[in-house]
A and B are shown apart, each in its own frame.
Chain A
Amino acid sequence: MALDTAWAIEWVRRTAATIDEHRAELVTLDREIGDGDHGENLDRGFRAVLEAVDAGSFDTPGAVLKVVATKLISTVGGAAGPLFGTAYLKAAQAAGDAAELDADALVAVLTAARDGVVSRGKAEVGDKTMVDAWSPAVDAAATAAADGATPEQVLAAAADAAATGAASTEPLVARKGRASYLGERAIGHRDPGAQSSAYVLRAAVEAA
């Protein structure tokens, strides 16, 4: 399937479904090292996104991503709202008016999303945040695209790297977010935002 408007809408549906499916797990992860609302907040956000996508009509993947951004920003009360919202907003801007995304455009979209998260949250790789999933995902996507991979293969490379990146947060001490108050007690726990980021990118692969 080409990465077109229908794909973007299917990505939203599958993201809402996977977040709903993993809500309890994300709540548990966040309860261990945060304020425990990540699963609920993201679930509420993507339900609102789903309603908006069902109610609207869209001509481009970028238009879909923009609605995801505004809905997440206005409905998710925790840090995930502005962080994911900014990621989708920058992704939408990078997608522009393109009817479908080729491998290079996809890399540009993922890079813009990652840069949005970094500029909003001021976190770096190793801080035990979403960036630990997004940054390796972007690197893997760029490498795959440079090797001549199809858009679907680029997405798959990104999702695999995001999953590995999420797992890599377990031994870390958090330097950003609520978990940073815990110091070494955060060691051994996976960052919930990195985990949900990996689920979001996995949903993009499944939608393609």
Chain B
Amino acid sequence: MTVGILVVSHSAAIADGTVALARQMAADVPMVAAGGTDDGGIGTSFDAITAGIEELGAADAVVVLCDLGSAYLTTDTALDFLDDDARARVHVSQGPLVEGTVAAAVAAQTGGDVAAVLAAAASAATTAPSDVDADPTSGVPTDDPGGPADDVSTGSGDDAVASATVELVNESGLHARPAAEFVKAAAKHEASVRVNGVDAKSLLAIMALALPKGATVTIEATGPDAQGAVDALVDLVRSGFGE
């Protein structure tokens, strides 16, 4: 299933910039910006929104992200003018414009269906500040690049706990595409996984850590096959994400 994303903003610069930002991490997702009025002013355009939905016609579904109130009003009005079949494939997210679009785009890039894309956009609003408030020492590079993982503990069963600390060896660190791959890998495991104290399945929380090359990453998992999850993520980090 392909999910396209339409970004509706009062400002063309915001809509275009948000698409550019999201495209950095989701190169293959069809995305269209519908920002500003038809004469280049601040406001939302019925015609641009309608054209954007049409431009995303090849996608199986379209998720729309909006900024302020009248962006929703204009979008809803545009949807009223579509026939029922066209209307049914368009879904308006209540997620925040910038963070929601990035999260939605990554979910779509990693093969998420429309429900997963909508959930990703919605979850962007609840990335709690406490999630981002990681151990202040965790991002400091060490002199031991690519060294062995330590602090490994093992367990089994549903309440199993496992953890490992490993160092980022790739150039861009745990950012952008590597972060998306990390989240995708973590999401394959049923276990609850945390990286440096934040939810390893939340792209925005991981990106907010801003971990550069050389930073140490502590991966902790609890629940079914916790060790399997930790091992897979350690392998991924050591592989350098293909960089």
Binding site for B on A (CB under 8 A): 35, 37, 41, 73-79, 81-83, 85-86, 120-121, 176-178
Contacts and interface: CB of A to CB of B under 8 A. Distances in A.
A78 B69 CA distance: 9
Contact of A82 (B37, B47, B68, B74): B74
Nearest to A77: B43
Interface centre among B45, B74, B80 (most CB of A within 10 A): B74
Contacts of B42: 35, 37, 77
* Ranked 7 nearest A-B pairs via Cβ: A77-B43, A79-B70, A77-B37, A82-B77, A82-B73, A74-B46, A73-B46
A73 B37 CA distance: 12
B202 interface: no
Give the secondary structure class of A's interface: helix
Nearest to B10: A77
Nearest to B47: A74
A78 B77 contact: no
A86 B76 CA distance: 10
Contacts of A37: 42-43
Contacts of B17: none
Interface size class of B (residues with CB under 8 A): 10 to 19
Contacts of A176: 69
Nearest to A176: B69
Nearest to B43: A77
Interface of B: 10, 36-38, 41-47, 68-70, 73-74, 76-77, 80
Contacts of A86: 77, 80
Nearest to A83: B73
A83 B74 CA distance: 9
Given A37-B43, A74-B38, A81-B70, 15 more contacts: A35-B42, A37-B42, A73-B46, A73-B74, A74-B46, A76-B43, A77-B36, A77-B38, A77-B43, A78-B44, A78-B70, A79-B69, A85-B77, A120-B73, A178-B68
Given A41-B43, A74-B47, A81 B74 contact: yes
A78 B76 contact: no
B48 to A, nearest CB: 10
16 contacts: A37-B42, A37-B43, A74-B45, A74-B46, A74-B47, A75-B38, A77-B37, A77-B41, A77-B45, A77-B70, A79-B70, A82-B76, A83-B73, A85-B77, A120-B76, A121-B73
B148 to A, nearest CB: 54
A81 B69 CA distance: 12
B37 A120 contact: no
Contacts of A121: 73
Contacts of B46: 73-74, 81-82
A120 to B, nearest CB: 6
A73 B47 CA distance: 9
